[in-house]
């Protein structure tokens, strides 16, 4: 039996799980290539995603993996949280990437920094230091292990979102996130409770919005919430958020089903 024989056909459920693992990750295991020896060099990194889904890391020039990435951009990133029981029974995903340093004067620097620091607020203590820099890990392909007997091969297109809607949402994301976090915390709590299956009495806020959905945070907890349908136009964002709040509010107000129903 070959590796290809154990792979399942990639379907919508697998893609959704893969995007959930990536979008909800606050850290990951990064493997680079040590220039002097050619050996893999693994380390833990803080993590966020750009609007299109590309992983973002913030690393110091003093760290061994920074010159490794600058010498050879090839790297891999492992994401996925463990829980109770066998750690190998929990979903995880390995991404094959090429790392690209984001220059401080690059047009995307402000957006990348904002999204990373929303997800990792404690990094504000050192993000502005001269030896730290953001890197985008451009995805080439991925391997998803959803648990025993659930292996999938995914492409770049399976994980990323692009096109005009992504660019338009990126341009207005800061205003939308600030507006929701300042004026609509009750709605965000409803999203976390109804669509995310989490306690809605916690102080959830939005850390990012993209065409597929939004990322909610509460302390160290991260919750991925997908829109009922992916957005194809930035003008659909507000109606989608209003409709989701209404749906969650109505579900919360509905009486529990009778036991004999």
Residue ranges in the chain modelled with pLDDT below 50:
261
Q: What is the residue-wise DSSP string for 209-255? A: E-SSEEEEEETTEEEEEE-SS--SSGGGHHHHHHHHHHHHHHHHHSP
| Chain segment 1-22, per-residue pLDDT in tens | 556 667 999 999 999 999 999 9
- Say what the alpha-carbon torsion angle 178, 180, 185, 190 is, to the nearest 10 degrees: -140
| Chain segment 144-193, per-residue pLDDT in tens | 998 777 899 999 999 999 999 999 999 999 999 999 999 999 999 999 99
pTM given for the model: 0.91
Residues comprising the chain, all counted: 261
Predicted local confidence at residue 210, as pLDDT:
97
Q: Are residues 103 and 152 located together in one domain of the fold?
A: yes
Domain that includes residue 179, residue range: 161-247
Q: Are residues 14 and 121 located together in one domain of the fold?
A: yes
Q: Are residues 2 and 75 located together in one domain of the fold?
A: yes
Asked whether residue 8 is assigned to any structural domain, the reply reads yes
Could you identify the residue written with the tokens 């990348």? 112
| Distance of alpha carbon 221 from alpha carbon 246, whole angstroms | 24
Predicted local confidence at residue 81, as pLDDT:
85
Asked whether residue 52 is assigned to any structural domain, the reply reads yes
Asked whether residue 126 is assigned to any structural domain, the reply reads yes
Half-sphere exposure of 17 (CA within 13 A, CB side): 23
Q: Are residues 137 and 176 located together in one domain of the fold?
A: no
Q: Are residues 2 and 117 located together in one domain of the fold?
A: yes
Q: Are residues 123 and 4 located together in one domain of the fold?
A: yes
Last-in-domain residue among 106, 132, 160: 160
How far does the chain reach from its first CA to its final CA, in angstroms? 49
Last-in-domain residue among 117, 144, 160: 160
Total domain count, the chain: 2
Q: Are residues 126 and 198 located together in one domain of the fold?
A: no
CA angle 38, 126, 123 (to 5 degrees): 90
Q: Are residues 146 and 182 located together in one domain of the fold?
A: no
Q: Are residues 155 and 180 located together in one domain of the fold?
A: no
Could you identify the residue written with the tokens 């995307």? 108
Last-in-domain residue among 102, 137, 160: 160
Asked whether residue 255 is assigned to any structural domain, the reply reads no
Q: Are residues 225 and 122 located together in one domain of the fold?
A: no
Q: Are residues 113 and 221 located together in one domain of the fold?
A: no
């Amino acid at each position: 039996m070959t590796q290809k024989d154990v792979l399942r056909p990639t379907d919508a459920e697998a893609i959704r799980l893969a995007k959930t693992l990536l979008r909800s990750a606050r850290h990951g295991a990064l493997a680079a290539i040590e220039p002097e020896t050619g050996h893999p060099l693994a380390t833990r990194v803080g993590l966020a995603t750009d609007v299109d889904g590309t992983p973002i890391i913030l690393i110091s020039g003093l760290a061994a993996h920074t010159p490794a990435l600058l010498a050879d951009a090839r790297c891999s990133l492992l994401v996925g949280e463990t829980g109770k029981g066998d750690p190998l029974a929990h979903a995880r995903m390995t991404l094959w990437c090429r790392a690209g340093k984001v220059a401080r004067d690059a047009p995307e620097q402000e957006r990348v920094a904002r999204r990373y620091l929303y997800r990792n607020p404690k990094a504000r203590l050192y993000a502005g230091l001269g030896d730290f820099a953001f890197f985008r890990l451009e995805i080439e392909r991925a391997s998803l292990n959803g648990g025993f007997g659930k292996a999938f091969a995914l492409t770049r297109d399976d994980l990323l979102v692009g096109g005009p809607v992504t660019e338009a949402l990126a341009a207005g994301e800061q205003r939308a996130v600030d507006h929701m976090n300042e004026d609509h915390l009750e709605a965000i709590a409803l999203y976390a409770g109804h669509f995310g299956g989490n306690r809605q009495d916690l102080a959830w806020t939005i850390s990012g919005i993209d065409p597929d959905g939004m990322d909610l945070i509460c302390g160290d907890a991260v919750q991925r919430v997908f829109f009922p349908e992916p957005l194809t136009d930035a003008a659909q964002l507000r109606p989608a958020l209003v409709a989701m709040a209404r749906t969650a509010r109505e579900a919360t107000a509905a009486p529990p089903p009778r036991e004999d129903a």
